[in-house]
Amino acid sequence: MEYRRLGSSGLQVSALSFGTWLTFGKQISDDTAEKLMDIAYEAGVNFFDNAEIYARGQSEIVMGNILAKKGWTRSSYLVSSKVFFGTEGKDAKPNQRGLSRKHVIEGCHDAMKRLRVDYLDLYYCHRPDKQTPIEETVWTMHQLVMQGKVLYWGTSEWDASEIMEAISIAKQHHLIGPVMEQPQYNMLTREKLEKDYLHLFKHHGLGTTIWSPLASGVLSGKYLDAKPGDTRLMMPGMEWLHDRVLQEEILEKVKGLKKISDDLGVSLAHLCLAWCLKNPNVSTVILGASKTDQLKENLNSMKVVQMLTDEVMSAIEKVLNNKPRLSEF
């Protein structure tokens, strides 16, 4: 396993990490969840990603039980949570979601209990909160770091301007600012990481822990010939994602990418994961999996990175035809 610095911080994170969105506490059994974490840990994965909203807290409970059972040395792994949506869903009362000081602190305490840890290595603001001043959130995160309850904090799906405001507030008041952002990044979703955040990478050393590198499985090629029923796109409540990604234009691109992967003698999933890993601004690629064989295969994608020559990258760009246009100024 390759390890990379999380942005300009000193924290080393495995290039491939493991996340639990839609799986732990929901799609798969606890036994399967344990097997998946075992496979990831033995392969050198040291970062396990979670959030309060995943299965409304049950995902963190499942992961916490596994961590307690395994007894892995605490310094050998990183665990995260994310705060914003709460665990109550549509039944949430006013202060049970968002980024107010109250919810951020209570969310941190609750996540530590569910994960059965004494501190969170990474703690994210899962979405921006238009109802809470960013300054309030920055101060709260700084205080949690000072208390030793959080080691590094960051954002998820924030705009570049919002992240920049948080960084500026932290610098102005000599506080610990955001270290990382967790954006969606894959061959079909590129704007933020390849354009909007470039200033943050260059001048502020922002790290990234990217999610959905296979676009919810579309870039694995499994939807080309059929629509398997046991996938996340076919789960109840995921119709919005199903309709967004299973478009004819997208599937045509997947077919073109499949030809490139076939020519290289690698799986389509490996090609698409390696493409994400090749970006120097990606600190870690979060893998999701509901089956052990699926995870084992995707953990081998590192070896494909060296096969992505300039010629191969040009061929990929020709198929995608979606490279963000950078400003000339």
pLDDT digits (tens, 9 = 90+) for 279-303: 999 999 999 999 999 999 999 999 9
Please indicate whether residue 124 is annotated as part of the active site: no
Q: What is the pLDDT of residue 327?
A: 75
| Choice among 54, 124, 185, 197 that is catalytic | 54
Scanning the chain, the segments in alpha helix (DSSP H) are: 30-42, 58-70, 101-115, 134-146, 160-172, 191, 198-204, 239-245, 248-264, 268-278, 292-298, 310-320
Per-residue confidence (pLDDT) for residue 126, from 0 to 100 = 97
Distance CA 260, CA 238 (A): 30
pLDDT 10s digits, 12-38: 999 999 999 999 999 999 999 999 999
pLDDT-derived band at 222, boundaries 50, 70, 90: confident
DSSP letter for each residue of 184-223: B-BTTB-HIIIIITHHHHHHH--EEEEB-TTTTTGGGTTT
Q: What is the mean pLDDT of the chain?
A: 94
Mean pLDDT of 168-172: 98
**Vertex 130 angle, CA 125 and 136, to 5°:** 60
Between residues 152 and 242, the one the model is more confident about: 152
Q: Closest Cα partner for 63 from 13, 109, 116?
A: 116
Model confidence, pTM: 0.93
Residue-wise pLDDT for 316-327, tens only, equals: 999 999 999 987
Which architecture does CATH list for 3-218+268-300?
Answer: Alpha-Beta Barrel (3.20)
Is the confidence at residue 165, as pLDDT, over 80?
A: yes
Helix, coil or strand: residue 122: strand
Tokens of 53: 């909203």
- For residue 223, the model assigns a pLDDT of 87
How confident is the model over 225-280, as pLDDT tens digits? 766 565 655 566 655 555 666 688 999 999 999 999 999 999 999 999 999 999 99
How much helix, strand and coil, in percent to the nearest 5, is found in the chain? 50, 15, 40
169-201: string of b/e by CB count within 10 Å (b at 16+)? bbeeeebbbbbbbbbbbbbbbbebbbeebbebb
> What pLDDT sits at residue 244?
62
Per-residue confidence band for 89, with pLDDT thresholds at 50, 70 and 90:
confident
Per mean pLDDT, which range of 49-63, 127-141, 223-237 is the poorest?
223-237
Diameter of the chain by CA atoms?
56
